[in-house]
Each structure stands twice: as C-alpha cells, then as structure tokens.
Structure 1
C-alpha cells in the first residue's frame, strides 16, 4: 500500500498556488512540488490530489492507494462522489477517472499538524 499526503496552498484566495505531494512506500519517501498558477486554496487542494494520482499511475501502477488530506472539502467531495460546486465538479470527475486505474483508492482527512511535509512542499511550489 502506498501512503500519499497531499496539500494545496494559495498566496491569496485566489492567488499564486502550489501543490505538495509526499509519498511513503516501502520505507522510502518521495517529494513533489508543483506550481499551479492562480487558483483558490480549495482548487489547489483538488489539483494536488490529481497530480498525486498521476504520479502514482506512472510510478506505482496497480498499487492500493491510501491518500491523506487536511482539506475537509476535498475529502468530503471525494467520499460522497458528488458536489454542487461547478468549479469542483470537473476536478472530482478527473479524480474519479484517475482513481479508476487502481484496485483501491482511499482518502481520509487528517489534521494540518499531521500533514506538515505536504504543506511545506505546497508552499515551496508557490515560489518556484
């Protein structure tokens, strides 16, 4: 099983945004930072999950994925598989499309203090 921690950050809301992804697998860790352009903080959080799924598809195909996010909005939308928000809907559809490539995809909410590595990477991405 692959543990994936994601976070999005935005300098302003909306503002310059970044995604941070911290992956733990087999005793090894992998770190990624992606600048995202001008987005809201919530949008950046969704994009972090999408970027992480793409990384997992390339490097960890056919693995069980256990995602963690400190965004209640993202976790709730993904778990329910539904949103009325027209901005989030295409992002949810992309997440579902990417998640279908894996045997199992789980996401759970964690407090911010347990997501420090991904947060640091997301903030770094804003300045790349």
Structure 2
C-alpha cells in the first residue's frame, strides 16, 4: 500500500497557489511541489489530490492508495462523489477518472498538524512562481 499526503495552499483566496505531495512507498519517501497559478484554497486542495494521483499512476501503477488530506471539503466530496459547488465538479470528475486506475483508493481526513510535510511542499510550490 502506498501512503500519500496532499495539501494545497494559496497566498490569498484566490491567489498564487501551490500543491504538495508527500509519498511513502516501499520504505522510501518521495516529495513533490507544484506551482498552480491563481486558485482558491479549496481548488488548490483538489488540484493537489489530482497531482498525487497522476504521480502514483506513473510511478506506482496498480498499487493500493491510501491518501490523506487535511481538507474536509475535498475528503467529503470524494467520499460522497458529490459537490454542490459548480467550480469543483470538474476537479472531482478528474479525481474520479485518475482514481479509477487503481484497484483500491482510500481517502482519509487528517488534522492539519499531521500534514506538515505536504503543507511545506505546497508552500514551496507557491514560492516557485
């Protein structure tokens, strides 16, 4: 099983945003930072999950994914496969498409204080722009 931690961050809401992805797999650690451009904080959180799934599809195909996020909104939307917000729907659809490449995909909400690595990487993504 691959453990994945994601976080999105915005400098302003909306503002310059970044995504962080922290992966534990096979006793190794993988860290990724991505500049996202102008996003709301919630959009950055969705984008971080998409980036994580894209990375895992390329580097860990066919594995079981256990994803962790400190965004209740994103975790709830994925678990329920529903969001009222029209701007989040295409992001949720992209997550569903990417997640379909894995035999099992789990997502769990974690407190912000347990997501420090991904938060650091997301803030780095902001600074990369």
For the aligned pair, the TM-score class normalised by the smaller chain equals over 0.9
Give 1:26 shift. Answer: 1.2
Find the residue that maps to 1:21 and give its secondary structure: strand
For residues 59-92 of structure 1, the C-alpha deviation after alignment (integer angstroms, 9 at most, x for no partner) is: 0000000000000000000000011110110000
| TM-score scaled by length of structure 1 | 0.99
CA distance in 1, matches of 2:12, 2:84: 24
Q: Partner residue of 2:66?
A: 66
For residues 70-126 of structure 1, the C-alpha deviation after alignment (integer angstroms, 9 at most, x for no partner) is: 000000000000111101100000000000000000000000000000000000100
Q: Partner residue of 2:111?
A: 111
Q: Partner residue of 1:94?
A: 94
1:47-62 map, 5 Å: 47-62=47-62
Instruction: Report runs of 4+ in structure 1 exceeding 6 Å deviation.
Output: none
| TM-score scaled by length of structure 2 | 0.99
CA distance in 2, matches of 1:47, 1:83: 15
C-alpha root-mean-square deviation of aligned residues, in Å? Answer: 0.3
CA distance in 1, matches of 2:118, 2:102: 22
Q: Partner residue of 2:81?
A: 81
For residues 15-46 of structure 1, the C-alpha deviation after alignment (integer angstroms, 9 at most, x for no partner) is: 00000000001110000000000000000000
5+ residue gaps, structure 1, are none
Find the residue that maps to 2:102 and give its secondary structure: coil
CA distance in 1, matches of 2:124, 2:68: 19
5+ residue gaps, structure 2, are none
